[in-house]
Structure 1
């Protein structure tokens, strides 16, 4: 099963296991019913931002949409490839975390909807300069620096430089 098929199958399975209609899923995720239907039918690939909204609305880790066999495959915005997310470690149910390697193209910005209540995110910059908005305030992180913050509030990542920025995101989910 390729990644697009896995996304389609996982989304439909998660929705049906909850007994939700596409309308309810749209209400819970903030993603349109039409887009959700297209993803379920494998007619459209969601952007990274859309996939985060879906995962948050379903209260599942982002990596739930990535098959273990393809865990090394990056997930990217199919239109722009402005943000590339590559899982470094598969979802760990016991430790309850996701660990991603992320790159942002020059000028790219990604708004993140709040994750589940109690989620804590750690961001560490590997290369380049990352602008990170937490609680409405932008801060710039340089290589070998990081920050930990409550991921259950709106936050954003921005690359205002002319070079690609590379960072890691470790996300802890509460029990």
Structure 2
């Protein structure tokens, strides 16, 4: 199954689990109903910004959109994820490439490897979700500027930054070399 088909199934599954219509998700995410419909049919290659809006509205991390759909996952999820089976997705707007490293077996931690092209920028208007999502970013090689709310950080190879996904975040590679980094995410359910 290609990444767009898997993403389509997962998005539809998350929306259906909440009992939301396309219109309800469109209203909550500020993404048009027609765009969501195209994504759910696997007929659109959404940008990272659009996926972040959908993930925020659904109360999940962006990485969660790339998890296997309940319809396709094995009866007993595997604790092992072979490199060739890890979902890889490329943002059509910036060209950044993300690989979900985590296996199908549920864990409170998700790992994602990102290759971010030189001179590119992605801005997420992250807001409150149904769960607290925390992440740490560890630069494997290269340089990234990450703006969290009003604070900007310049991270070089080996540097690590922790943040909570509750405010706008801008990712920028200010150099002429691509960057590679690891993102570790954890989710804490909010108390009702």
Question: Which residue in 1 is equivalent to 2:25?
Answer: 25
Q: Between 65-74 and 98-107, report the one with greater CA deviation.
A: 65-74
How far residue 24 of structure 1 moved from its aligned partner, in angstroms, is 0.9
1:138 matched to 2:171? The reply is no
Report if the CA contact (8 A) 2:132-2:164 is conserved. yes
Query: 1 CA distance for matches of 2:151 and 2:98?
Result: 24
Question: Which residue in 2 is equivalent to 1:53?
Answer: 53
Question: Which residue in 1 is equivalent to 2:77?
Answer: none
How far residue 91 of structure 1 moved from its aligned partner, in angstroms, is 6.0
Structure 1's unaligned 5+ residue stretches are: none
1:43-70 Cα distance to aligned partner (Å, 9 max, x none): 1121222222212211233333333787
Query: 1 CA distance for matches of 2:125 and 2:104?
Result: 20
Question: Which residue in 2 is equivalent to 1:172?
Answer: 186
Q: CA RMSD in A?
A: 2.1
Report if the CA contact (8 A) 2:90-2:98 is conserved. yes
Q: How does 1:73-112 map to 2 (within 5 A)?
A: 73-81=87-95, 83-90=96-103, 93=106, 95-112=107-124
Query: 2 CA distance for matches of 1:97 and 1:88?
Result: 11
Distance 1:80 1:114, change over 3 A: closer
Query: 2 CA distance for matches of 1:30 and 1:139?
Result: 28
Query: 1 CA distance for matches of 2:94 and 2:164?
Result: 28
Structure 2's unaligned 5+ residue stretches are: 74-80
Structure 1 counterpart SS, 2:38: helix
Question: TM-score scaled by structure 2?
Answer: 0.80
Question: TM-score scaled by structure 1?
Answer: 0.87
1:21-51 Cα distance to aligned partner (Å, 9 max, x none): 2111012222221210111122112122222
Query: 2 CA distance for matches of 1:164 and 1:59?
Result: 30
Query: 2 CA distance for matches of 1:150 and 1:64?
Result: 16
Query: 2 CA distance for matches of 1:139 and 1:106?
Result: 17
Query: 1 CA distance for matches of 2:165 and 2:65?
Result: 19
Report if the CA contact (8 A) 1:39-1:45 is conserved. yes
How far residue 80 of structure 1 moved from its aligned partner, in angstroms, is 4.7
Question: Which residue in 2 is equivalent to 1:9?
Answer: 9
Report if the CA contact (8 A) 2:94-2:121 is conserved. no
